[in-house]
Chains A and B, each alone.
Chain A
């Protein structure tokens, strides 16, 4: 990516910023934050207020893709969060560092929470249930056309599948086996680092990146299969510094990253009678331009798939779950209202990002099921 220049207040970020689209609040736009950053405290906000306002960012990265000046809202926020630290970051750090222990505990406790709890506790309860929820009844079977001979591969499960939605990992492993991949013993991977980065926990991000690279090397540099768009983006963003400047190693790493859906584009699809009346695909903000998850959902759902909107963010926003849950929910509802505008009751919303699944499942009305595309596979 080219080096950032300076914000010229052109407003192209307003076209895509999900916070602005959902709230209409100009002060939440990247344009406003870059402007406020240029003001000295005598004219503008004091440092604390500026950081707290600028931190209200979902780190979706849409502004950065649309900015003619290569400015990135998430990079600004990540740096600010890194410089300021604070209680919310610490909580997020702990939450990501001990998922095996904390996530099931929080889910269990959430069952005792009355519905009427004030925010953020109210939606946190629902969210914890969504994190561990089971998927809909499977209604599609895939028979992969691709077959590998002697190809070593490893599944990068991501935190959600590793600690909550284990069945995604089981299904992905089964698909890999059916394609003849030789699956390595599961390395002790950590978080992909994406969530740490957006929360400004940059030291922690470096630590997990190093660990993941070394696990991958110890496993013999196998093909690294992913099924979460955010994990894939997080893994692709490892910098040359993370590889101690070894550009060949970094290239091999990048080449090894393979979305599971990209291996299934020629698969044979068999649908069962349980298929829903309609399917909507939610394109994650972190999905690559050429989104193989979308192509797979098109292959599976065919005529059931309603026209795909590429301009909606689910509003998950990582650390925003702790820092500004109401705002996250407002964006999520804005997204769901549009995703389900013409959707028949009983329809399913499929996506390819773990965080999007959790957010959409938390906020979707009972008549719709939001899930990962892996959920619908037998």
Chain B
């Protein structure tokens, strides 16, 4: 197969400038460098940047790119943490930010149609204005886009009750290499005709095609919600608290855990509401009707009466947002503990969470790095951050060793390397720890069927 070009020719640039006139394309050094990095902090410089406004432009682009074998890197707000949008083989970055219209919100079909550049929080606001609900809520929801969320199958805190992005994508329009436009699924909530290409595209991280439109399922907006932040002396108290809540028959909207190192990072970040001596936190949300939320809150309080707690704060309406802000700033606050971070988002079966966290802490102690565990206790998806200082001799190596041991332990417990962030660049070397040869062969075959010349997001592992 022909190699990827080492630069864009004059004719290549002319083609792109014609297809993407004015400020729809850029070859300016600053713009190119800026669109070559994401929240993984990995970076590479593409040869060109284009900002399509129409699907037809993307079809033309992918026809040309396949013919010329130019790598194509879809991009939106670049909040992913695994290098998913870093243009490691250069080529052309396609920013989807200008395709950002909400095309339809239909309260009778319980469906919305959107372009990929719509910001998730904006979509949520728009549907909520009509009494509807789009539940997936990744921590980046005020910044990240629906297109990015679909490409990564973004999860979020409400996944315990409502599932992840995949569960809300009914249909997609996408352009595949060669320029053909495909439409998968549709507006119906049930559809079993053919293989499920919609689910295949969700989470494929731009390696199969470029999503240009999505049909999403909506739910009725719950009447109200309330949140509770509960402090415990230690992690085991925290996990006992979680068990008590589940055993009283309530499925919370969200159930987040924070371990003692997370608590320390937050305490160094700003003024915190909990009392000293708190070594584990649970943050719960419940939703439903006014009556059911009040009843559930009472039942949760009763269930927790048997467990020793250090602190409890409840919030309803807008008030609860300040509790959730604590959860959203953990990622950056972790840098209060050490300057460098290696963040993993492993998931284990729900019943194995306690064991997994204890083991992760033990790995940190053995290797002299700080292991901080927080995240979605409710669905077993634990964010494990290894905090270290690469300027100290041996820490870099130990952090990498910790990563491998954490992965191995997770798999031993029946878990997965990634619950929501994906594999991308930063975990590419570990995929064979989880997937077998046959599975990988099947996946590579699917990739080749969609993208025989490997132009879509090359250099990445999904």
Does A49 sit at the interface, judged by CB under 8 A? yes
In the complex the two chains form, is B31's CB within 8 Å of A27's CB? Answer: yes
In the complex the two chains form, is A36's CB within 8 Å of B34's CB? Answer: yes
A327 to chain B minimum Cβ distance, whole angstroms, is 12
Does B97 sit at the interface, judged by CB under 8 A? yes
Does A5 sit at the interface, judged by CB under 8 A? yes
Does A85 sit at the interface, judged by CB under 8 A? no
- Given the known interface contacts A8-B335, A14-B143, A15-B142, the answer about A45 and B30 at a Cβ–Cβ threshold of 8 Å is yes
- Would you give the 0/1 interface string for A264-276, flagging 1 where the beta carbon is closer than 8 Å to chain B? 0000000000000
For A11, the chain B residues whose CB sits under 8 A away are 39, 77-79, 140, 143-144
B330 to chain A minimum Cβ distance, whole angstroms, is 9
- A6 contacts which of B51, B144, B335 (Cβ < 8 Å)? B335
In the complex the two chains form, is B79's CB within 8 Å of A26's CB? Answer: no
Please report which residues of chain A, range 1-56, place their CB below 8 angstroms from some CB of chain B when the two chains form the complex. 5-6, 8-12, 14-15, 24-27, 29, 32, 35-36, 39, 43-45, 49-50, 53
In the complex the two chains form, is B77's CB within 8 Å of A14's CB? Answer: yes
In the complex the two chains form, is A10's CB within 8 Å of B31's CB? Answer: no
In the complex the two chains form, is A5's CB within 8 Å of B31's CB? Answer: no
Alpha-carbon distance A49/B35, docked complex (angstroms): 17
- B30 contacts which of A12, A15, A53 (Cβ < 8 Å)? A53
Alpha-carbon distance A45/B332, docked complex (angstroms): 27
Does B223 sit at the interface, judged by CB under 8 A? no
For A43, the chain B residues whose CB sits under 8 A away are 45
| Most chain A CB atoms below 10 A, which of B29, B45, B335 | B29
- Would you give the 0/1 interface string for B119-146, flagging 1 where the beta carbon is closer than 8 Å to chain A? 0000000000000000000001011100
Does B5 sit at the interface, judged by CB under 8 A? no
In the complex the two chains form, is B37's CB within 8 Å of A9's CB? Answer: yes
In the complex the two chains form, is A32's CB within 8 Å of B140's CB? Answer: no
Does B14 sit at the interface, judged by CB under 8 A? no
Chain A interface, >50% SS class: loop
Alpha-carbon distance A29/B34, docked complex (angstroms): 9
For A25, the chain B residues whose CB sits under 8 A away are 23, 31
Does A113 sit at the interface, judged by CB under 8 A? no
In the complex the two chains form, is B34's CB within 8 Å of A27's CB? Answer: yes
Chain A residue nearest to B325 (CB atoms) is A68
Q: How many residues of B contact A (CB 8 A)?
A: 34
A35 to chain B minimum Cβ distance, whole angstroms, is 5
Chain B interface, >50% SS class: loop
- Given the known interface contacts A8-B332, A53-B30, the answer about A26 and B41 at a Cβ–Cβ threshold of 8 Å is no
In the complex the two chains form, is B335's CB within 8 Å of A5's CB? Answer: yes
In the complex the two chains form, is B30's CB within 8 Å of A36's CB? Answer: yes
For B33, the chain A residues whose CB sits under 8 A away are 27, 32, 35-36, 39, 44-45
Alpha-carbon distance A35/B32, docked complex (angstroms): 12
- B98 contacts which of A24, A26, A49 (Cβ < 8 Å)? A24
- Given the known interface contacts A6-B339, A11-B143, A49-B29, the answer about A26 and B332 at a Cβ–Cβ threshold of 8 Å is no
Please report which residues of chain B, range 325-381, place their CB below 8 angstroms from some CB of chain A when the two chains form the complex. 329, 331-333, 335, 339, 341
- Given the known interface contacts A35-B34, A45-B30, A49-B30, the answer about A8 and B41 at a Cβ–Cβ threshold of 8 Å is yes
| Most chain B CB atoms below 10 A, which of A5, A25, A44, A45 | A25
Does A84 sit at the interface, judged by CB under 8 A? no
Alpha-carbon distance A218/B341, docked complex (angstroms): 53
Does A251 sit at the interface, judged by CB under 8 A? no
- Given the known interface contacts A11-B78, A44-B33, A49-B29, the answer about A24 and B38 at a Cβ–Cβ threshold of 8 Å is no
- B51 contacts which of A9, A24, A36 (Cβ < 8 Å)? A24
Does A69 sit at the interface, judged by CB under 8 A? yes
For A68, the chain B residues whose CB sits under 8 A away are 269, 329, 331-333
For A24, the chain B residues whose CB sits under 8 A away are 51, 95, 97-98
Alpha-carbon distance A53/B30, docked complex (angstroms): 7
In the complex the two chains form, is B38's CB within 8 Å of A9's CB? Answer: yes
Please report which residues of chain A, range 166-182, place their CB below 8 angstroms from some CB of chain B when the two chains form the complex. none
A23 to chain B minimum Cβ distance, whole angstroms, is 8
- Would you give the 0/1 interface string for B266-304, flagging 1 where the beta carbon is closer than 8 Å to chain A? 000100000000000000000000000000000000000
For A27, the chain B residues whose CB sits under 8 A away are 28, 30-31, 33-35
Chain A residue nearest to B39 (CB atoms) is A9
B49 to chain A minimum Cβ distance, whole angstroms, is 9
Alpha-carbon distance A49/B97, docked complex (angstroms): 25
For B331, the chain A residues whose CB sits under 8 A away are 8, 10, 68
Alpha-carbon distance A49/B28, docked complex (angstroms): 11
For B79, the chain A residues whose CB sits under 8 A away are 10-11
- B34 contacts which of A8, A10, A32, A49 (Cβ < 8 Å)? A32
- Would you give the 0/1 interface string for B65-103, flagging 1 where the beta carbon is closer than 8 Å to chain A? 000000000000111000000000000000101100000
Alpha-carbon distance A9/B84, docked complex (angstroms): 14
Chain A residue nearest to B43 (CB atoms) is A35
For A69, the chain B residues whose CB sits under 8 A away are 332, 335
Chain A residue nearest to B93 (CB atoms) is A26
Alpha-carbon distance A255/B270, docked complex (angstroms): 25
Chain B residue nearest to A23 (CB atoms) is B23
- Given the known interface contacts A26-B95, A49-B30, A53-B30, the answer about A12 and B143 at a Cβ–Cβ threshold of 8 Å is yes
- Would you give the 0/1 interface string for B38-75, flagging 1 where the beta carbon is closer than 8 Å to chain A? 11110101000001000000000000000000000000
Alpha-carbon distance A36/B269, docked complex (angstroms): 26
Alpha-carbon distance A6/B338, docked complex (angstroms): 12
For A26, the chain B residues whose CB sits under 8 A away are 31, 34-35, 78, 95
For A35, the chain B residues whose CB sits under 8 A away are 33-34, 37, 43
B39 to chain A minimum Cβ distance, whole angstroms, is 5
- Would you give the 0/1 interface string for B142-160, flagging 1 where the beta carbon is closer than 8 Å to chain A? 1110000000000000000
| Most chain B CB atoms below 10 A, which of A27, A35, A44 | A27
For B45, the chain A residues whose CB sits under 8 A away are 43
Alpha-carbon distance A24/B99, docked complex (angstroms): 11
For B35, the chain A residues whose CB sits under 8 A away are 26-27
For B332, the chain A residues whose CB sits under 8 A away are 8, 10, 68-69
Chain B residue nearest to A56 (CB atoms) is B30
For B98, the chain A residues whose CB sits under 8 A away are 24
Alpha-carbon distance A10/B140, docked complex (angstroms): 8
For B95, the chain A residues whose CB sits under 8 A away are 24, 26
Alpha-carbon distance A29/B79, docked complex (angstroms): 14
- A8 contacts which of B39, B51, B143 (Cβ < 8 Å)? B39
Chain A residue nearest to B100 (CB atoms) is A24
For A6, the chain B residues whose CB sits under 8 A away are 335, 339
Alpha-carbon distance A68/B143, docked complex (angstroms): 14
For B140, the chain A residues whose CB sits under 8 A away are 10-11
Alpha-carbon distance A8/B331, docked complex (angstroms): 9
* Cross-chain pairs A/B with CB under 8 angstroms, 27 sampled: A5-B335, A6-B335, A8-B39, A8-B335, A9-B38, A9-B39, A9-B40, A9-B78, A10-B143, A10-B332, A11-B79, A14-B77, A24-B51, A26-B31, A26-B34, A26-B78, A27-B28, A32-B34, A32-B37, A35-B34, A36-B34, A43-B45, A45-B29, A45-B30, A68-B333, A69-B332, A69-B335
What are the 4 closest A-B residue pairs judged by CB atoms, nearest first? A68-B332, A32-B34, A27-B34, A53-B30
Q: What residues of chain A have their CB less than 8 Å away from a CB belonging to chain B?
A: 5-6, 8-12, 14-15, 24-27, 29, 32, 35-36, 39, 43-45, 49-50, 53, 68-69
List 13 additional contacts besides A9-B39, A9-B78, A10-B332; criterion CB under 8 Å.
Answer: A6-B339, A9-B37, A9-B40, A10-B79, A11-B144, A15-B142, A24-B51, A32-B33, A35-B33, A35-B37, A36-B33, A36-B34, A45-B33
